[in-house]
Amino acid sequence: MKTWRASARAAAACLCLSFLVSCQTQNPTPDPEPGAPRAREEQVTRGPGGRILTNTGVWSPDSEWIVYDCRPGPAGERFEGTTIEAVHVRTGEIRELYRAKNGAHCGVATFHPTRRAVVFILGPEFPTPDWQYGPYHRQGVVVEWDQPGLARNLEARDLTEPFTPGALRGGTHVHVWHPAGDWVSFTYEDHVLAQFKTATAFNDVNQRQVGVWVPNPPVKVDRDHPRNHDGTGFAVVVTQTQATPTPGSDEIARAFEEGWIGTNGYVRPDGTRQRRALAFQGQVAGRSGEPFAEVFVVDLPEDLTRPGHGPLAGTAARAPAPPAGVSQRRVTFTETRRFPGIQGPRHWLRSSPDGSRIATLMKDDSGIVQIWTVSPNGGPPRQLTRNPWPVASAFSWSPDGRCLAHVMDNSVCLSDAATGATRRLTPRSADALAPRPEACVFSPDGKKIAFVRRRGTGPDAANQICVLFLEP
Protein backbone atom coordinates (compact mmCIF):
# COMPACT_ATOMS: atom_id res chain seq x y z
CA MET A 1 0.00 0.00 0.00
CA LYS A 2 2.82 2.42 0.89
CA THR A 3 4.51 1.66 -2.43
CA TRP A 4 1.28 2.24 -4.35
CA ARG A 5 0.70 5.55 -2.61
CA ALA A 6 4.27 6.69 -3.27
CA SER A 7 3.91 5.80 -6.95
CA ALA A 8 0.62 7.64 -7.16
CA ARG A 9 2.12 10.73 -5.57
CA ALA A 10 5.05 10.63 -7.93
CA ALA A 11 2.79 10.29 -10.97
CA ALA A 12 0.61 13.16 -9.83
CA ALA A 13 3.68 15.30 -9.17
CA CYS A 14 4.94 14.68 -12.71
CA LEU A 15 1.61 15.65 -14.20
CA CYS A 16 1.36 18.83 -12.19
CA LEU A 17 5.01 19.68 -12.83
CA SER A 18 4.31 19.45 -16.54
CA PHE A 19 1.37 21.71 -15.98
CA LEU A 20 3.38 24.26 -14.02
CA VAL A 21 6.06 24.48 -16.66
CA SER A 22 3.42 25.10 -19.31
CA CYS A 23 1.60 27.87 -17.42
CA GLN A 24 3.08 31.15 -18.58
CA THR A 25 0.04 33.39 -18.29
CA GLN A 26 -2.75 34.14 -15.86
CA ASN A 27 -5.35 34.12 -18.64
CA PRO A 28 -6.38 30.75 -20.02
CA THR A 29 -5.88 30.21 -23.68
CA PRO A 30 -8.94 29.57 -25.86
CA ASP A 31 -8.11 25.89 -26.31
CA PRO A 32 -5.46 23.43 -25.10
CA GLU A 33 -2.10 24.23 -26.65
CA PRO A 34 1.12 22.29 -27.31
CA GLY A 35 3.09 22.23 -24.08
CA ALA A 36 0.01 22.26 -21.88
CA PRO A 37 -0.97 19.01 -20.13
CA ARG A 38 -2.85 16.94 -22.65
CA ALA A 39 -6.17 15.53 -21.62
CA ARG A 40 -8.19 12.89 -23.46
CA GLU A 41 -11.91 13.15 -22.74
CA GLU A 42 -14.06 10.03 -22.72
CA GLN A 43 -17.73 9.59 -22.00
CA VAL A 44 -18.03 6.57 -19.70
CA THR A 45 -21.82 6.28 -19.20
CA ARG A 46 -24.59 6.07 -21.78
CA GLY A 47 -28.31 5.68 -21.94
CA PRO A 48 -31.33 7.69 -20.75
CA GLY A 49 -31.68 9.46 -17.41
CA GLY A 50 -29.57 12.00 -15.59
CA ARG A 51 -26.45 11.12 -13.62
CA ILE A 52 -24.99 13.23 -10.85
CA LEU A 53 -21.57 13.16 -9.17
CA THR A 54 -20.85 14.24 -5.63
CA ASN A 55 -18.14 16.92 -5.48
CA THR A 56 -15.60 14.67 -3.72
CA GLY A 57 -14.92 11.01 -3.02
CA VAL A 58 -16.43 9.68 -6.26
CA TRP A 59 -13.40 7.53 -7.17
CA SER A 60 -12.63 4.05 -5.93
CA PRO A 61 -9.28 3.79 -4.11
CA ASP A 62 -7.66 2.23 -7.20
CA SER A 63 -8.93 5.08 -9.45
CA GLU A 64 -10.76 2.63 -11.72
CA TRP A 65 -14.42 3.12 -10.74
CA ILE A 66 -16.65 6.17 -10.35
CA VAL A 67 -19.75 6.08 -8.16
CA TYR A 68 -22.80 8.22 -8.95
CA ASP A 69 -26.56 8.32 -8.54
CA CYS A 70 -29.15 8.10 -11.29
CA ARG A 71 -32.02 10.57 -11.31
CA PRO A 72 -35.12 10.93 -13.47
CA GLY A 73 -35.09 13.38 -16.35
CA PRO A 74 -32.17 14.29 -18.58
CA ALA A 75 -30.67 16.82 -16.20
CA GLY A 76 -31.01 14.78 -13.07
CA GLU A 77 -31.80 17.90 -11.09
CA ARG A 78 -34.75 16.44 -9.17
CA PHE A 79 -33.62 14.42 -6.19
CA GLU A 80 -35.94 11.53 -6.93
CA GLY A 81 -33.43 8.87 -7.95
CA THR A 82 -33.59 5.27 -6.81
CA THR A 83 -30.26 3.82 -7.94
CA ILE A 84 -26.59 4.03 -6.92
CA GLU A 85 -24.23 2.79 -9.63
CA ALA A 86 -20.52 2.61 -10.35
CA VAL A 87 -18.89 2.64 -13.79
CA HIS A 88 -15.48 1.26 -14.71
CA VAL A 89 -13.72 4.10 -16.49
CA ARG A 90 -11.84 1.94 -19.00
CA THR A 91 -14.30 -0.84 -19.82
CA GLY A 92 -17.62 0.97 -19.30
CA GLU A 93 -18.89 -1.86 -17.09
CA ILE A 94 -21.80 -0.74 -14.89
CA ARG A 95 -22.23 -2.17 -11.41
CA GLU A 96 -25.50 -1.53 -9.56
CA LEU A 97 -24.71 -1.08 -5.88
CA TYR A 98 -28.15 -0.24 -4.51
CA ARG A 99 -31.73 0.17 -5.71
CA ALA A 100 -34.13 1.89 -3.33
CA LYS A 101 -37.49 0.29 -2.71
CA ASN A 102 -40.83 0.94 -1.04
CA GLY A 103 -41.04 4.54 -2.21
CA ALA A 104 -37.58 5.60 -1.01
CA HIS A 105 -35.02 7.76 -2.86
CA CYS A 106 -31.24 7.63 -2.68
CA GLY A 107 -28.25 9.62 -3.92
CA VAL A 108 -25.06 11.63 -3.21
CA ALA A 109 -22.62 8.71 -3.03
CA THR A 110 -18.95 8.68 -2.02
CA PHE A 111 -16.31 5.94 -1.84
CA HIS A 112 -14.38 4.88 1.21
CA PRO A 113 -10.75 6.06 0.74
CA THR A 114 -9.10 2.66 1.18
CA ARG A 115 -11.68 -0.05 0.41
CA ARG A 116 -14.60 -0.55 -1.95
CA ALA A 117 -17.47 0.62 0.20
CA VAL A 118 -19.88 3.43 -0.59
CA VAL A 119 -21.84 5.74 1.71
CA PHE A 120 -24.89 7.63 0.46
CA ILE A 121 -28.21 9.24 1.40
CA LEU A 122 -31.29 7.05 1.78
CA GLY A 123 -34.73 8.60 2.15
CA PRO A 124 -37.64 7.02 4.04
CA GLU A 125 -39.26 3.83 2.87
CA PHE A 126 -43.05 3.76 2.96
CA PRO A 127 -43.31 7.56 3.10
CA THR A 128 -46.38 8.99 4.82
CA PRO A 129 -47.92 12.48 4.76
CA ASP A 130 -46.00 13.35 7.92
CA TRP A 131 -42.75 11.64 6.90
CA GLN A 132 -41.74 12.47 3.34
CA TYR A 133 -38.28 12.75 1.85
CA GLY A 134 -36.72 15.99 3.04
CA PRO A 135 -33.71 17.47 4.84
CA TYR A 136 -34.61 16.07 8.25
CA HIS A 137 -36.07 12.72 7.11
CA ARG A 138 -33.07 11.05 5.51
CA GLN A 139 -30.10 9.06 6.71
CA GLY A 140 -26.64 7.80 5.79
CA VAL A 141 -26.18 4.16 4.78
CA VAL A 142 -23.18 2.09 3.69
CA VAL A 143 -23.03 -0.62 1.02
CA GLU A 144 -20.04 -2.92 0.68
CA TRP A 145 -18.82 -3.68 -2.84
CA ASP A 146 -19.25 -7.43 -2.50
CA GLN A 147 -22.70 -7.10 -0.92
CA PRO A 148 -24.67 -4.88 -3.32
CA GLY A 149 -28.20 -4.09 -2.21
CA LEU A 150 -27.42 -4.59 1.49
CA ALA A 151 -27.43 -1.17 3.16
CA ARG A 152 -26.23 -0.73 6.75
CA ASN A 153 -27.40 2.28 8.76
CA LEU A 154 -24.68 4.78 9.52
CA GLU A 155 -26.24 6.83 12.32
CA ALA A 156 -29.03 5.82 14.70
CA ARG A 157 -32.25 7.84 15.01
CA ASP A 158 -34.27 8.38 18.21
CA LEU A 159 -37.34 10.63 18.03
CA THR A 160 -38.77 10.19 21.53
CA GLU A 161 -37.56 11.32 24.94
CA PRO A 162 -35.33 10.49 26.65
CA PHE A 163 -33.17 10.80 23.55
CA THR A 164 -30.21 8.44 23.17
CA PRO A 165 -26.62 9.80 23.17
CA GLY A 166 -24.97 8.95 19.86
CA ALA A 167 -28.30 8.94 18.02
CA LEU A 168 -29.71 11.85 16.03
CA ARG A 169 -33.27 13.18 15.78
CA GLY A 170 -33.40 14.16 12.10
CA GLY A 171 -31.71 13.77 8.75
CA THR A 172 -28.18 13.73 7.35
CA HIS A 173 -26.69 14.20 3.88
CA VAL A 174 -23.42 14.49 1.90
CA HIS A 175 -21.49 11.91 3.87
CA VAL A 176 -17.71 11.98 3.42
CA TRP A 177 -15.13 9.75 5.08
CA HIS A 178 -12.13 11.21 6.81
CA PRO A 179 -8.97 10.42 4.77
CA ALA A 180 -8.07 7.79 7.37
CA GLY A 181 -11.28 5.96 6.46
CA ASP A 182 -12.79 5.79 9.95
CA TRP A 183 -14.87 8.89 10.71
CA VAL A 184 -17.60 10.37 8.48
CA SER A 185 -18.73 14.00 8.28
CA PHE A 186 -22.19 15.10 7.19
CA THR A 187 -24.70 17.93 7.24
CA TYR A 188 -27.58 17.58 9.70
CA GLU A 189 -31.08 18.97 10.22
CA ASP A 190 -33.29 18.29 13.24
CA HIS A 191 -36.83 16.87 12.94
CA VAL A 192 -37.70 17.43 16.60
CA LEU A 193 -36.91 21.15 16.47
CA ALA A 194 -38.58 21.64 13.07
CA GLN A 195 -41.93 21.77 14.89
CA PHE A 196 -40.93 25.16 16.34
CA LYS A 197 -41.22 28.01 13.86
CA THR A 198 -39.65 30.68 16.08
CA ALA A 199 -36.86 30.40 18.61
CA THR A 200 -37.74 31.52 22.14
CA ALA A 201 -36.20 31.44 25.59
CA PHE A 202 -37.78 28.03 25.99
CA ASN A 203 -36.96 26.33 22.69
CA ASP A 204 -34.56 26.22 19.74
CA VAL A 205 -35.46 25.85 16.06
CA ASN A 206 -34.09 23.58 13.36
CA GLN A 207 -30.91 24.96 11.82
CA ARG A 208 -28.44 23.33 9.47
CA GLN A 209 -25.46 21.87 11.34
CA VAL A 210 -22.34 19.82 10.69
CA GLY A 211 -22.04 16.42 12.33
CA VAL A 212 -19.59 13.52 12.61
CA TRP A 213 -20.04 9.75 12.87
CA VAL A 214 -17.46 7.51 14.53
CA PRO A 215 -17.52 3.71 14.26
CA ASN A 216 -17.64 2.97 17.98
CA PRO A 217 -19.71 2.39 19.95
CA PRO A 218 -22.71 1.12 17.96
CA VAL A 219 -25.95 2.72 19.14
CA LYS A 220 -29.23 0.94 19.86
CA VAL A 221 -32.48 2.81 20.47
CA ASP A 222 -35.95 1.96 21.70
CA ARG A 223 -38.44 1.24 18.93
CA ASP A 224 -41.13 3.47 20.46
CA HIS A 225 -41.41 5.48 17.23
CA PRO A 226 -41.91 3.91 13.79
CA ARG A 227 -39.00 5.95 12.36
CA ASN A 228 -36.49 5.04 15.06
CA HIS A 229 -33.59 2.79 14.05
CA ASP A 230 -30.21 1.57 15.35
CA GLY A 231 -26.85 2.77 14.04
CA THR A 232 -23.53 1.08 13.38
CA GLY A 233 -21.67 3.88 15.15
CA PHE A 234 -21.92 6.99 17.31
CA ALA A 235 -23.10 10.28 15.72
CA VAL A 236 -22.90 13.81 17.13
CA VAL A 237 -23.41 17.41 16.10
CA VAL A 238 -20.09 19.32 16.23
CA THR A 239 -21.17 22.88 15.39
CA GLN A 240 -23.17 25.43 17.33
CA THR A 241 -25.64 27.91 15.85
CA GLN A 242 -27.85 30.78 16.99
CA ALA A 243 -31.30 31.47 15.57
CA THR A 244 -30.52 35.20 15.42
CA PRO A 245 -26.77 35.84 15.37
CA THR A 246 -25.62 39.06 16.98
CA PRO A 247 -24.68 41.49 14.18
CA GLY A 248 -20.92 41.76 13.80
CA SER A 249 -20.25 38.69 15.98
CA ASP A 250 -18.85 35.22 15.23
CA GLU A 251 -22.22 33.62 15.94
CA ILE A 252 -23.69 31.71 13.01
CA ALA A 253 -27.21 30.85 11.89
CA ARG A 254 -26.18 27.84 9.79
CA ALA A 255 -23.18 25.54 9.36
CA PHE A 256 -22.83 23.81 6.00
CA GLU A 257 -20.63 22.67 3.06
CA GLU A 258 -17.91 21.20 5.25
CA GLY A 259 -14.66 19.47 4.30
CA TRP A 260 -11.96 17.60 6.21
CA ILE A 261 -8.73 19.55 6.69
CA GLY A 262 -5.66 17.72 5.39
CA THR A 263 -5.05 14.01 5.07
CA ASN A 264 -3.68 14.19 8.61
CA GLY A 265 -5.05 17.47 9.94
CA TYR A 266 -2.99 20.64 10.10
CA VAL A 267 -0.14 22.18 12.07
CA ARG A 268 -1.00 24.86 14.63
CA PRO A 269 1.11 28.01 15.07
CA ASP A 270 2.84 26.40 18.09
CA GLY A 271 4.02 23.47 15.95
CA THR A 272 1.62 20.89 17.36
CA ARG A 273 -0.70 18.97 15.04
CA GLN A 274 -4.49 19.07 15.13
CA ARG A 275 -5.21 15.64 13.70
CA ARG A 276 -8.93 16.01 12.99
CA ALA A 277 -10.66 19.19 11.94
CA LEU A 278 -13.37 20.36 9.56
CA ALA A 279 -13.66 23.57 7.59
CA PHE A 280 -17.20 24.73 6.92
CA GLN A 281 -19.22 27.69 5.81
CA GLY A 282 -20.88 29.57 8.64
CA GLN A 283 -23.63 32.13 8.01
CA VAL A 284 -22.91 35.25 10.06
CA ALA A 285 -24.75 38.55 10.37
CA GLY A 286 -22.87 41.68 9.33
CA ARG A 287 -22.87 44.82 11.43
CA SER A 288 -26.00 45.96 9.60
CA GLY A 289 -27.61 42.55 9.99
CA GLU A 290 -27.10 41.33 6.41
CA PRO A 291 -26.30 37.58 6.20
CA PHE A 292 -23.26 36.17 4.42
CA ALA A 293 -21.03 33.12 4.75
CA GLU A 294 -17.51 33.01 6.17
CA VAL A 295 -14.95 30.23 6.56
CA PHE A 296 -15.04 28.51 9.95
CA VAL A 297 -13.00 25.69 11.44
CA VAL A 298 -14.04 23.19 14.08
CA ASP A 299 -11.25 21.29 15.84
CA LEU A 300 -12.26 17.83 17.03
CA PRO A 301 -10.99 15.75 19.96
CA GLU A 302 -10.25 12.06 19.50
CA ASP A 303 -13.14 11.13 21.81
CA LEU A 304 -16.53 12.41 20.65
CA THR A 305 -18.59 10.48 23.18
CA ARG A 306 -18.08 12.81 26.17
CA PRO A 307 -20.81 15.46 26.71
CA GLY A 308 -19.82 19.12 26.61
CA HIS A 309 -21.93 22.05 27.81
CA GLY A 310 -25.20 20.21 27.12
CA PRO A 311 -26.66 16.79 26.27
CA LEU A 312 -25.19 15.21 23.15
CA ALA A 313 -28.69 14.08 22.18
CA GLY A 314 -30.39 17.37 22.96
CA THR A 315 -33.82 17.70 24.55
CA ALA A 316 -37.33 18.13 23.22
CA ALA A 317 -36.73 21.89 23.12
CA ARG A 318 -32.93 22.20 22.75
CA ALA A 319 -30.54 21.24 19.98
CA PRO A 320 -27.94 18.51 20.44
CA ALA A 321 -24.78 19.99 21.96
CA PRO A 322 -21.25 19.39 20.67
CA PRO A 323 -19.03 16.95 22.59
CA ALA A 324 -16.46 18.09 25.12
CA GLY A 325 -13.26 19.36 23.56
CA VAL A 326 -14.83 20.63 20.32
CA SER A 327 -13.60 24.11 19.39
CA GLN A 328 -15.38 26.25 16.77
CA ARG A 329 -13.79 29.45 15.43
CA ARG A 330 -14.09 31.91 12.60
CA VAL A 331 -11.23 32.08 10.10
CA THR A 332 -12.20 34.80 7.58
CA PHE A 333 -13.48 38.34 8.15
CA THR A 334 -14.56 39.73 4.78
CA GLU A 335 -17.29 42.23 5.64
CA THR A 336 -15.20 45.23 4.57
CA ARG A 337 -14.56 43.80 1.10
CA ARG A 338 -16.55 45.12 -1.86
CA PHE A 339 -18.26 41.74 -2.13
CA PRO A 340 -18.23 40.29 1.39
CA GLY A 341 -18.50 36.64 2.19
CA ILE A 342 -18.12 33.45 0.21
CA GLN A 343 -19.49 33.91 -3.29
CA GLY A 344 -20.03 31.69 -6.31
CA PRO A 345 -21.67 28.40 -7.25
CA ARG A 346 -22.59 26.05 -4.45
CA HIS A 347 -19.39 24.42 -3.29
CA TRP A 348 -17.85 22.65 -0.35
CA LEU A 349 -14.69 23.98 1.27
CA ARG A 350 -11.72 21.83 0.30
CA SER A 351 -8.34 21.64 2.02
CA SER A 352 -4.95 21.04 0.46
CA PRO A 353 -3.66 17.54 1.27
CA ASP A 354 -1.09 18.91 3.71
CA GLY A 355 -3.79 20.85 5.57
CA SER A 356 -2.07 24.24 5.23
CA ARG A 357 -4.69 25.88 2.98
CA ILE A 358 -8.47 25.88 2.74
CA ALA A 359 -9.80 26.72 -0.71
CA THR A 360 -13.08 28.56 -1.24
CA LEU A 361 -14.76 30.73 -3.87
CA MET A 362 -15.21 34.47 -3.50
CA LYS A 363 -15.70 37.38 -5.85
CA ASP A 364 -12.82 39.70 -6.58
CA ASP A 365 -13.32 43.46 -6.58
CA SER A 366 -14.63 43.25 -10.15
CA GLY A 367 -17.34 40.80 -9.13
CA ILE A 368 -15.72 37.75 -10.78
CA VAL A 369 -15.74 34.51 -8.79
CA GLN A 370 -12.17 33.34 -8.14
CA ILE A 371 -10.46 30.68 -6.06
CA TRP A 372 -9.10 31.98 -2.76
CA THR A 373 -7.20 30.17 -0.03
CA VAL A 374 -6.81 30.77 3.70
CA SER A 375 -4.84 29.05 6.44
CA PRO A 376 -6.81 27.03 9.02
CA ASN A 377 -4.92 29.14 11.57
CA GLY A 378 -6.49 32.30 10.18
CA GLY A 379 -5.03 35.36 8.54
CA PRO A 380 -6.13 37.22 5.42
CA PRO A 381 -7.40 35.10 2.53
CA ARG A 382 -5.17 34.98 -0.53
CA GLN A 383 -6.63 35.40 -4.00
CA LEU A 384 -5.31 32.55 -6.10
CA THR A 385 -6.85 32.84 -9.58
CA ARG A 386 -7.19 36.10 -11.53
CA ASN A 387 -9.14 35.08 -14.59
CA PRO A 388 -11.58 37.11 -16.71
CA TRP A 389 -14.24 34.40 -16.32
CA PRO A 390 -15.75 33.18 -13.04
CA VAL A 391 -15.10 29.74 -11.60
CA ALA A 392 -18.33 27.90 -12.38
CA SER A 393 -18.17 24.68 -10.38
CA ALA A 394 -17.12 22.93 -7.25
CA PHE A 395 -13.41 22.08 -7.33
CA SER A 396 -10.87 19.55 -6.08
CA TRP A 397 -7.15 19.49 -5.28
CA SER A 398 -4.75 17.16 -7.03
CA PRO A 399 -3.43 14.47 -4.64
CA ASP A 400 -0.04 16.21 -4.47
CA GLY A 401 -1.61 19.62 -3.77
CA ARG A 402 -0.06 21.32 -6.80
CA CYS A 403 -3.22 22.00 -8.86
CA LEU A 404 -6.98 22.46 -8.54
CA ALA A 405 -9.51 21.19 -11.10
CA HIS A 406 -12.66 23.19 -11.82
CA VAL A 407 -15.00 24.40 -14.56
CA MET A 408 -14.66 27.86 -16.06
CA ASP A 409 -16.06 29.40 -19.25
CA ASN A 410 -17.61 26.08 -20.35
CA SER A 411 -14.29 24.24 -20.03
CA VAL A 412 -12.64 21.94 -17.52
CA CYS A 413 -9.56 23.77 -16.27
CA LEU A 414 -6.53 23.34 -14.04
CA SER A 415 -5.24 26.12 -11.82
CA ASP A 416 -1.75 26.10 -10.36
CA ALA A 417 -1.99 26.07 -6.55
CA ALA A 418 1.13 28.26 -6.22
CA THR A 419 0.62 30.92 -8.89
CA GLY A 420 -3.05 30.66 -9.84
CA ALA A 421 -2.18 30.32 -13.52
CA THR A 422 -5.06 28.56 -15.28
CA ARG A 423 -5.17 26.32 -18.35
CA ARG A 424 -8.08 24.78 -20.17
CA LEU A 425 -8.06 21.02 -20.47
CA THR A 426 -11.09 20.92 -22.77
CA PRO A 427 -12.11 23.32 -25.53
CA ARG A 428 -14.90 25.76 -24.74
CA SER A 429 -18.23 24.11 -25.49
CA ALA A 430 -21.69 25.45 -26.22
CA ASP A 431 -23.78 26.32 -23.19
CA ALA A 432 -26.04 23.29 -23.58
CA LEU A 433 -23.03 20.94 -23.58
CA ALA A 434 -20.96 22.69 -20.90
CA PRO A 435 -19.52 20.70 -17.98
CA ARG A 436 -21.94 20.67 -15.06
CA PRO A 437 -21.23 22.75 -11.93
CA GLU A 438 -21.67 20.01 -9.32
CA ALA A 439 -18.29 18.34 -9.50
CA CYS A 440 -14.82 18.27 -11.00
CA VAL A 441 -12.96 15.56 -9.08
CA PHE A 442 -9.35 14.35 -9.25
CA SER A 443 -8.76 10.61 -8.99
CA PRO A 444 -6.57 9.28 -6.13
CA ASP A 445 -3.73 8.53 -8.57
CA GLY A 446 -3.81 12.12 -9.90
CA LYS A 447 -4.16 10.96 -13.52
CA LYS A 448 -7.88 11.50 -14.13
CA ILE A 449 -10.62 14.04 -13.55
CA ALA A 450 -14.30 13.10 -13.37
CA PHE A 451 -17.08 15.49 -14.31
CA VAL A 452 -20.56 15.54 -15.87
CA ARG A 453 -21.53 16.85 -19.29
CA ARG A 454 -24.81 16.89 -21.19
CA ARG A 455 -24.63 14.52 -24.17
CA GLY A 456 -27.07 13.90 -27.01
CA THR A 457 -29.77 16.12 -28.48
CA GLY A 458 -33.51 16.49 -28.14
CA PRO A 459 -35.29 13.81 -26.10
CA ASP A 460 -32.12 11.70 -26.04
CA ALA A 461 -30.07 14.37 -24.24
CA ALA A 462 -28.93 13.37 -20.75
CA ASN A 463 -26.22 14.13 -18.24
CA GLN A 464 -23.41 11.62 -18.59
CA ILE A 465 -20.27 10.89 -16.60
CA CYS A 466 -17.11 11.94 -18.43
CA VAL A 467 -13.44 11.44 -17.60
CA LEU A 468 -10.34 13.36 -18.56
CA PHE A 469 -7.28 11.12 -18.81
CA LEU A 470 -4.29 13.38 -18.15
CA GLU A 471 -1.12 12.77 -20.11
CA PRO A 472 2.18 14.49 -19.15
Evaluate whether 122 touches 151 at the Cβ level (below 8 Å).
yes
Please determine, for residue 367, whether its predicted confidence score (pLDDT) is greater than 70. yes
Name every residue whose Cβ is closer than 8 Å to that of residue 34 and which is 6 or more positions away in sequence.
none
Please determine, for residue 301, whether its predicted confidence score (pLDDT) is greater than 90. yes
Q: What is the pTM of this model?
A: 0.92
Report the pLDDT averaged over residues 28-52: 73
Name every residue whose Cβ is closer than 8 Å to that of residue 11 and which is 6 or more positions away in sequence.
445, 446, 447
Lowest-confidence segment of 49-58, 137-146, 162-171, 349-358 by average pLDDT: 49-58
Enumerate the domain spans of the chain. 1-55+339-472
Report the pLDDT averaged over residues 356-375: 98
Report the pLDDT averaged over residues 267-286: 98
Evaluate whether 242 touches 252 at the Cβ level (below 8 Å).
yes
Name every residue whose Cβ is closer than 8 Å to that of residue 248 and which is 6 or more positions away in sequence.
285, 286, 287, 335
Hey, how many other C-beta atoms are within 10 angstroms of the C-beta on 370? 24
Please determine, for residue 97, whether its predicted confidence score (pLDDT) is greater than 60. yes
Give the whole-angstrom CA distance, residue 180 versus residue 307: 24
pLDDT band at residue 462 using 50, 70 and 90 as cut-offs: confident
Predicted local confidence at residue 77, as pLDDT? 64
What does 305-351 look like in DSSP terms, one character per residue?
Answer: -SB-SS-TT--SSSPPPPBTT-EEEE----TTSSS-S--SSS---EE
Predicted local confidence at residue 29, as pLDDT? 40
pLDDT tens per residue across span 302-322 = 999 999 999 999 999 999 999
Please determine, for residue 93, whether its predicted confidence score (pLDDT) is greater than 90. yes
Lowest-confidence segment of 32-46, 282-296, 447-461 by average pLDDT: 32-46
Please determine, for residue 11, whether its predicted confidence score (pLDDT) is greater than 50. no
pLDDT tens per residue across span 120-160 = 999 999 999 999 988 999 999 999 999 999 999 999 999 99
Predicted local confidence at residue 37, as pLDDT? 57
pLDDT tens per residue across span 317-341 = 999 999 999 999 999 999 999 999 9
